[in-house]
Amino acid sequence: METELKYYLLLFFVSAILGWCLEVVCKLVQLHRFINRGFLIGPYCPIYGVGAVSVTMLLSRYEDSPLAIFGLAILICGTLEYVTSFLMEKLFHARWWDYTGRRFQLNGRVSADTLVPFGLLGLVMIYCLKPWFFNLLSKISISVLDCLCVILCVMMSTDIGISSWALIRIRVRAEH
């Protein structure tokens, strides 16, 4: 059980980093310049990590039903995206994404354009990535997994603290 929690923690970090890469590449193609798409300083978007872990933990039991995985992944990721957008806006008075101009969007926070790919990624996660990734991690010693988990948690915790402090300072200065 403890080992599986480490696997999920590492899945969180890998997915957060891959999500950041995806966001950066999309903006690079779209705007022809680098934009750090994360809320944090480091190269990760935690929303992707939370989404990957949530989908994997909650939907693995539906492995025999791809349609259920697809639909539930859309529901999980859509809810996560909406709630995250709402909270980030309330906490920091800024929007990191806005789908207002798109068809099939809800309050600019979620859009069918992103939800359908998240459903597909849910299928890829359950049928391909989780089995491959967990098998790969099973070949790594527990002590190495422990070290990785501690280092990554300390790095991200520090980053969250620094990034939150900086954004709050910017907000306070903007209000005065």
Residue 81: per-residue pLDDT: 95
Between CA 40 and CA 37 the distance in angstroms is 9
Would you call 35 helix, strand, or coil by DSSP? coil
List, as one string, the DSSP characters of 83-135. HHHHHHHHHHS--S---TTSSSEETTTEEHHHHHHHHHHHHHIIIIIHHHHHH
Place of tokens 């590449």: 25
Identify the band that residue 139 occupies on the pLDDT scale cut at 50, 70 and 90.
Answer: very high
Determine what percent of the chain is predicted with pLDDT higher than 90: 70
Give yes or no for residue 51 having a pLDDT over 80.
yes
- 106 vs 8: which has the higher pLDDT: 8
Mean pLDDT of the chain: 92
Residue 173: per-residue pLDDT: 76
Q: pTM to 2 decimals?
A: 0.89
Residue 61: per-residue pLDDT: 96
Q: And the tokens for 61?
A: 């039991």
Between CA 52 and CA 58 the distance in angstroms is 10
Contact in structure between 77 and 55 (CB atoms under 8 Å): yes
Give yes or no for residue 50 having a pLDDT over 90.
yes
Give yes or no for residue 95 having a pLDDT over 90.
no
Give yes or no for residue 84 having a pLDDT over 90.
yes
Give yes or no for residue 176 having a pLDDT over 80.
no
> What residues form DSSP beta bridges with 151?
none
